Structure 1
Amino acid sequence: MVIVFICLWQNWSYSKANASEIPVINSGAAIVLDTKSGEVLFEKNARERKFPASLTKIATGIYAIENGNLSDKVTVSEAAREVDGTRVYLEPGEQVPLKQLIEGLLINSGNDAGVAIAEHFDGSNEQFAKKLNEYVARIGTQETTFQNPHGLFDPNHQTSARDLALITQYALKNEEFRRIFGTKELKWDSQTWHTTLFTHHKLMREKPYDGVTGGKTGYVDESGHTLVTSAERAGTSIIVVTLEGASQKDAYNDTKALLDYAFENFKTTLIPQGTTVPMDKGEYKTTRDVYFSQPVNQNVTMKMNAEGSLEIFGEDKNLITSVKLEDFKQPIRKTAKMIPPKPSNEEKEDFKVLLPGTLIGILALIGAIIIGNRRRKSNGV
């Protein structure tokens, strides 16, 4: 295993994208995140608080999946029926499985489904939003203050491109969420509406982009056009978030440019679980799969630092990334073959000083023994 890992060290490569290759985008904020490593490959105003519109529903969807029973029947209220914006035409008193509501929420962006979900969990939009903020804060959000489950405008309903990328990255770990998020069309049967739902994300349906695995759109007047897109090629998974697009065309053009940039210039490298990393006094062994992002087409070098982190450097000697090793085993000292420690320079000098006197003493002792033996023989002893 050590030999295999050393070979990987010799062949892994990266390349920094030239400044001319970095896309210029029109959206007010954006981020590109490597889904597996969590490394940011591009950002523009990624920590600025913006209005997310229906991108909010990504958070509502994963919250409902993780905290509810998907087979539960949810009773639709009058408030859910009367909500503004895009709907799945639920009727008051209608009972709908939670799973179907989440599908209507994410695929058709149903605001009525969002209200029904919020009331099912916490009784009201306000209480649900409070719980939702606590939930996403545990994921790592820092700029998010959701006020409702659907993203209709509220001046305090804000988040950032970075936070939305983190929420999406977390949600994509869930198999049920991935299935719904990547659904292009779905037959819909409710009390008053029988139809086929189609995803609103054009890169999944109308203008397919190679590798796109899921997405969510959003729009209110105050937010402009917002878009979240997930994509994968050759083992590299990417999340792109764009906010504050002046037009739908801008949002999609920016997203495609960022996907092109990510896939053409970066790849995700895997250090498999169980890989042994040699060190001077022992070795480290990975206890999980470890991913890191690297640009393409240049050599890398790797080394363990004194703190036990794996550092990865490019050809320009600049640090690409440092992989945290909290999940690595501590160095294992090899005890099967004991090797005596080498003497220090001072110990060597002391040895040189002591050697002549010690040798004379030994020779004198040997001489005394020989003389004594001869005397004993001459005396007949």
Structure 2
Amino acid sequence: MKRSLCILLCLLLQLMSVHAESYVVLSGADNTIVEEKNKDEKQSVASISKIMTAVIAIEHGQLDESFAVDDEINKAYGSSVYLKQGQQVTMRDLLYGLMLRSGNDAAVEIAKHVAGSQVAFVELMNRKAAEIGMSNTTFSNPSGLDEEDGGNISTANDMAVLMSYAMKNKEFRTITGSKYYTTDWNMRWKNKNRLLFDYPFTVGGKTGFTKKAGRTLVSAAEHDGVESIVVTLREGDDFAFHEQKHTEVFQKMDVVTIMRKGDYTVNGRKFHVPETLKVTLHKDGSDKLRVKTHYDHKDFVVEVQKNDDVNVYSFASKKVRGGGLFS
């Protein structure tokens, strides 16, 4: 009996140690990879690709414009928010249906309204992917379905880069972090991302599943100024895995601010920093950080070296009267 219990416990421990086929844990501050496994392995990523669909729609603007659902909606299948042809909706409604309920019909309608067709919308998705550095990604549709065209092919790392980019957008951040949403036609939706209800530091994410892709999950969490992004592909117990990895990031990592967003005047020249510059460091002090600043012609240059990695930021400046040494 004791031997049987021992064997059973060993099997359970082995099962618990088996995790995603590929995953990445990223610091949202500077996209530092904290941990990874097969981060560049390509596969269909299912509905987590709807993050890109949302990004394109939000950057297109006019979220509160009202319009009628197109007949293209009749081509949608799979998960749905039950849109009907001719129904009056706003882009905001569609975005919540897309991100909270993973509505494929919402994805189809977003694509048609923004770009005129799904084909044209996919071109925008792939253009944005290239722009933000998703070098191993090819989008084929706005929903993530993969039965007909092979689906949207990406990697854990590329999806983490996408989530990091998306979370810098206030509209996206509000939508993905919402537990519930009530539409203009009084439909109440609950977010499928269980982490929003079970893990208090969760600030967003997107679930996904197809038979081909398996379970896919992207999540973002924030605690004490540290934002953690986790992506898993083919992880059965994905919610528990994400909780564990977020907690490990908060225990091990810290974020240091190099320069805050705003206007600066240095040596009589004024420049603007559009986003706060941050760097992620281990709390145990094992990282070496060095920051240098100088002018290169008219550009104010900030060189941030962490261990062997160097990032260079340049800001165009102009001469001002009465500028101090640093203000």
User: TM-score range with shorter-chain normalisation?
Assistant: 0.7 to 0.9
Which amino acid in structure 2 is aligned with residue 265 of structure 1? K
Aligned-residue offset at 1:135: 1.9
Q: How does 1:4-153 map to 2 (within 5 A)?
A: 26-153=19-146
Contact 1:81/1:90 (8 A) holds in 2:
no
2:288 and 2:239 mapped to 1: Cα distance? 37
Which structure has more RCO (C-alpha within 8 Å, separation ≥ 6)? Answer: 1
Q: Give the structure 2 partner of residue 260 of structure 1.
A: 247
Aligned-residue offset at 1:328: 9.5
Aligned-residue offset at 1:35: 0.9
SS at match of 2:305: strand
SS at match of 1:326: strand
Aligned-residue offset at 1:147: 0.9
Which amino acid in structure 2 is aligned with residue 210 of structure 1? P
* Cα-to-partner distance string for 1:202-257 (whole Å, 9 max, x where unaligned): 1112xx21311111101111111111111101000111111122x2xx21122122
Which amino acid in structure 1 is aligned with residue 64 of structure 2? S
- The reply on whether 1:235 has 2:229 as its aligned counterpart is no
TM norm structure 2: 0.79
Q: 2:150 aligns with which of 151, 155, 164?
A: 155
Contact 2:49/2:152 (8 A) holds in 1:
no
* Cα-to-partner distance string for 1:152-171 (whole Å, 9 max, x where unaligned): 11315211111111111111
Distance change (3 Å), C-alpha of 1:44 and 1:327: farther
Distance change (3 Å), C-alpha of 1:189 and 1:47: same
Larger radius of gyration: 1
Q: 1:220 aligns with which of 193, 210, 223?
A: 210
1:301 and 1:199 mapped to 2: Cα distance? 41
Contact 2:144/2:151 (8 A) holds in 1:
no
Structure with bigger strand share is 2
Distance change (3 Å), C-alpha of 1:325 and 1:174: closer
Distance change (3 Å), C-alpha of 1:68 and 1:325: closer
Using the aligned pairs only, state the percent identity. Answer: 31
Contact 1:37/1:268 (8 A) holds in 2:
no
Aligned-residue offset at 1:30: 0.9
SS at match of 2:183: strand
Distance change (3 Å), C-alpha of 1:310 and 1:117: closer
SS at match of 2:233: strand
SS at match of 1:135: helix
Which amino acid in structure 2 is aligned with residue 322 of structure 1? V
How many aligned positions are there?
289
TM norm structure 1: 0.69
Which amino acid in structure 1 is aligned with residue 130 of structure 2? A
Q: How does 1:295-374 map to 2 (within 5 A)?
A: 295-298=282-285, 302-303=289-290, 309-312=303-306, 319=307, 321-327=309-315
RMSD across aligned positions (CA):
3.0
Aligned-residue offset at 1:197: 0.5
2:79 and 2:242 mapped to 1: Cα distance? 23
1:328 and 1:296 mapped to 2: Cα distance? 34
